[in-house]
Structure 1
Amino acid sequence: MLSHAPGDTLGHRLDPRTKLALQSAVAAVALARPTPAWLVVLTVGCLLALRGCGLSVRAVYAEYRGALPFLLVAPLAGALRFGPPWVDPAGARGPLLAVYRTLLLLALAAAYVRTTSPRESRAAITRLVPGRAGRFLGLGVMLVFRFLPLLQSDLRRLREGSWVRLGDERRVDRRLAHLAVGALERTFRRADALALALRARCLSWNPTPPALAFARRDYAALGAAGALVAAAIAL
């Protein structure tokens, strides 16, 4: 499951603000330079980032397997034509590059979630965005990071329970309706329990954040991100 896991990898030791800066740099370059040559450079960087976080490509994209078919729709739609020759492979080039950029950003997002605790994410966003807006945004991000893994676990158990009861022999629309209704019911239950837990713990808008400090490895990573952006601008 795609959630935070304690560890001692390089990704775990980096400051969360550094990891956010790296993701922003890669996203900016991917959008500004959507060429195959630059995508190769970004691919190498993403592979190094996954290795530094103790993740494999197979494990990361196994978490996104539900979204991958939807991403492939864009290249297929771009290649189709309403008249002869009906299929134009050149039309799929742009959407295919866009899908590949999306996959790279999803890999970096998985690495960030895996190596950054919700409290660290909240502290980083609070420091980057000043005032009440930053506290509100940090709290929202923290709750999402804590809430989504629970919903994923509930949905997986619901699907496994349906399979045990021969749910895979039902019609597709009935299977989807069963999973949708069950997922919504469990989501509302989780939301009620979360609201009660927050009131019981006297949720604070300005809690004591974890200590964040830049180290040499952070400056090196920020320098690499800056060099990447500068090269994309200059070349």
Structure 2
Amino acid sequence: MTLSYVPGDSLAHRLDPRSKLLAQAGFAAAAYAYTTPRGLAALTLLAVGCLRLAGGGARDVWTYRFAFPVLALAPLVAGATLGAPWFRPERAATTGLASYRVLLILVVAAGYVRSTPVRESRAALQRTVPGKPGQFLGVGVALVFRFLPLLKRDLLTAREAVRARGGDALPTRERIRLVAVAGVDRAFGRADRLGTALNARCFAWNPTLPRFAFGRADAAALAVGVGLLAAALVTVV
């Protein structure tokens, strides 16, 4: 499973990408506003529901496994002290809730990526943000969505190559260095080929974009997004 669009006929696939972006923004705002265990428990149900509406499951969340070690270690690092009492549980608990909040946002993001083609994401951003800034943002997001899976695959290929050549016997630091160097080298190579391909195809900042139309299901998604934003704003005010 990769970080990419998966064709389907789920409810999330049929939604307008603009309503999905608003729902995502509302969810992120609510996640940062309601950091108590009860609030995050309610948001957990909503996040799982969003992923299921996109036809996704645990395998889609697993694609973000590169972030799991950081999220797991953050509470331990936050709670550790250089002197007595050596570990502060209250700090660890606060950071643990923050890590879980990030995980929930990744779950919702997985549902969006799974149910939204890259072309529609670009079009939604360009039509929401006017002018050159919107075009630049749309192109940037499109390139990230298209090439992040490729870069991830390059790293996995480099790791397998190191392992096939007896790299398992090397120290962990040396293995990480070899994989990182190979990954960066391939990333720069892909960037060079991308620039050449864009020039060869007469890259346009303002191409013909797909048409969008809000449907009945979008009304519910928009209501959820606006409701979450309003709930987050209430806590700030």
Question: Which of the five TM-score ranges fits, normalised by the shorter chain?
Answer: over 0.9
The higher-RCO structure (CA 8 Å, 6+ apart) is 2
AA in 2 matched with 1:28: A
User: 1:52 maps to which residue?
Assistant: 53
1:19 corresponds to which letter in structure 2? K
CA offset digits 1:128-154 (Å, max 9, x no partner): 100111111111111111111111111
Tell me by how many angstroms 1:64 deviates. Answer: 1.9
CA distance in 2, matches of 1:172, 1:234: 48
The answer as to 2:153 corresponding to 1:153 is yes
Alpha-carbon RMSD: 1.6
Q: Determine whether 1:206 maps to 2:206.
A: yes
Shift of 1:106: 1.0
**Unpaired stretches in structure 1, ≥5 consecutive residues:** none
Deviation of 1:231 (Å): 4.3
Superposed CA offset, 1:132-186 (max 9, x none)? 1111111111111111111111111111122222211112222122111111111
Quick one: percent identity of the two aligned structures?
A: 49
Give 1:234 deviation, angstroms.
5.4
Contact 2:30–2:231 under 8 Å retained in 1: no
1:41 is matched with which residue? 42
Partner Cα separation in structure 2 for residue 87 and residue 181 of structure 1: 36
Aligned length: 234
Change (3 A) 1:13 1:171: same
Measure the CA separation in 2 of the matches of 1:133 and 1:228: 26
Paired residues for 1:216-235 under 5 Å: 216-232=216-232
What secondary structure, in the 3-state scheme, does the structure 2 residue paired with 1:66 have? helix
Which residue number in structure 2 is paired with residue 25 of structure 1?
Answer: 26
Q: Tell me how far apart the structure 1 counterparts of residues 21 and 52 of structure 2 sit (CA, whole Å).
A: 17
Q: TM-score, normalised to structure 2's length?
A: 0.93
**Unpaired segments ≥5 residues, structure 2:** none
Instruction: State the distance in 1 between where 2:103 and 2:179 align.
Output: 27
Asked if 1:85 is matched to 2:77, the reply is no
State the Cα distance separating 1:232 from its structure 2 match: 4.8
Code of the residue aligned with 1:24 in structure 2: it is A
Q: Tell me the TM-score normalized by structure 1.
A: 0.93
Residues 28-87 of structure 1: CA deviation (Å, up to 9, x unaligned): 11112211111111111001011111111x313321222211122221122223333322
- For residue 205 of structure 1, give the secondary structure of its aligned residue in structure 2: coil
